[in-house]
Amino acid sequence: MSKKKTPPWVLLVCTGAGNNIQGGADMWVNNFLKEVWPTLPNRVRFRLLIDSKRPANFKPTSLPAGLRYHFHYDDPSITEKWGSESTWVHFLHPHYHMRPHIWDFEDKFGICFVHAYPKDMLQVKVELPELNERVQLGTKVDEKFYTEFLLTCKRRIWIGLNKSTLLSDFPNYTYYLPNYYEFQGPAALTTNVDSGIVAFAARAESRKCLHWMNGIDKGYALTSQWDVRNMRDVTRFQLPTVDIYQWEPGIKHAFFSKSWGIFHGAYFKEPFGYSIFEAVDYGKLPIINKDWAPDIDYKYRVSTKNEFDKCIKQIKKDSHQTRMEERNKLIEFMKKFDNKKEWIDQVRSQILSFF
C-alpha cells in the first residue's frame, strides 16, 4: 500500500490582519481568513506571515482559532524557515516596495491579490496639481519594483470593481475578481442631508482627497490624526471646520450614526470603495469621483475641489425625492457585489488551482 502524500506547506503573506484594520485591504484579508481559509482542505498546512511589526494592541483572538501566524519582526528566522518549507507563496496583500526576506522565495510566488496598482495611485500627482506633488500615499510605493514583483508572480488577481491599467499592462494570467460587500440594510436616506454637513471615513492619503473638505461649512472625518497633522504641516489645507476623529474600528458605527447626511467618497482611482458602500448602507448620500463606476448615471460626481464645493450646494438645493432617486441608482449597482458565497467560491478555486 502506497503512503499517503503529505500536502505541501503554503505561505500566505499580508501586511496586516486581525483587530488592527488600517484600510480596505486589511478588511479583505480578514474576510479571507474568516470565510475562505476554513473551507480549504488541509488548512493546517497554510501559514500566515504578517509582514510587519506586531502592534502593541494586537489581539490574538481577532484571528481564526487554529491559524498559524507569525509577525516577521518577532523573529525573522521564522520567516526564513516558513518560506523555505513552503511550496507556494501567495500574497493576500503585499507591500508596494522591496522586502528582501520575501524576495528570497521569488521562485515560489503564486497568486498576488492586487488591491491598488501603483501606476494608478501615482497618477494623483498629475490629477491633483493643487498638492504641488506633496503627495501622501500611506505607505512606501516603488512603482518599478512592484512591476517586477508582479511579473514574478504566476497569477495576478484584481479585487477592485473599477477597471485598472493593471489588466492591460498584464493581459496574461491576470484575473478580475472584485471584492464583496454584505448589506445590512440599506437604511432609508437620512433627512440630515439638509444640514449640509459632510463626513469622510478613510485613510488620509492624497488620492482620497480629504483636502477638498477645506473651507466647507461643517464636516467630520474618521481617519488618522497623524496623517491629518502631516497634511497640515506640508500643505495649505488646514481643515478648520472639520472635526477629526481618530480611526478606530470600534467607533465606526457611532461615527456613521451621527447626524450628518453627505458622504465624501470622491476618491481618485479608488479600486473598490468599501467606505462608499458603508455610507450608502447607513442611509447617507455619497459624492463620488467621476472615475468611480463611471457607467452609472449618477448626478453627484466630481473630479476637482471646485466641483466638490458646487456639488455640496447642489445637493442642498435638490429635493429629497431627487436625492433618493440618485442614491437608488447606486444601490442597484452596489447590490451586484452583495455576493459573499460566490466570492468565497471564486477565491477558494484560485487557491486550490495550485494543488
What is the pTM (predicted TM-score) of this model?
Answer: 0.93
pLDDT of residue 48: 98
Q: Buried b vs exposed e over 208-223: b needs ≥16 C-beta within 10 Å?
A: bbbbbbbbbeebbbbb
pLDDT of residue 133: 67
Average pLDDT of the residues in 291-317: 97
Average pLDDT of the residues in 13-34: 92
Give 111's strand partners.
Answer: 155
**Proportion of the chain above pLDDT 90, given as a percent:** 84
Q: What average pLDDT does the chain have?
A: 94
Average pLDDT of the residues in 311-334: 98
For 192-238, the pLDDT digits (tens) are: 999 999 999 999 989 999 999 999 999 999 999 999 998 998 889 99
The residue written with cell numbers 503554503 in the block is 10
Average pLDDT of the residues in 17-42: 92
Nearest to 86 by CA among 174, 13, 2: 13
Cα–Cα distance between 11 and 131 in angstroms, integer?
A: 40
The set of cell numbers assigned to 338 is 452583495
* Residue 42 in this model has a pLDDT that exceeds 70: yes
* DSSP for residue 325: H
For 53-95, the pLDDT digits (tens) are: 999 999 999 999 999 999 999 999 999 999 999 999 999 999 9
**Proportion of the chain above pLDDT 70, given as a percent:** 98
* Residue 1 in this model has a pLDDT that exceeds 50: no
Residue 72: strand, helix, or coil: helix
Res. 304 pLDDT band, cuts 50 70 90: very high
Q: Which helix (H) or strand (E) holds 49?
A: strand 46-50
* Residue 342 in this model has a pLDDT that exceeds 70: yes
Residue type, 124: V
pLDDT of residue 163: 86
Residue 234: strand, helix, or coil: helix
For 139-187, the pLDDT digits (tens) are: 788 999 999 999 999 999 999 999 899 999 999 999 999 999 999 999 9
Maximum distance among all alpha carbons in the chain?
79
Res. 44 pLDDT band, cuts 50 70 90: confident
The residue written with cell numbers 500566505 in the block is 12
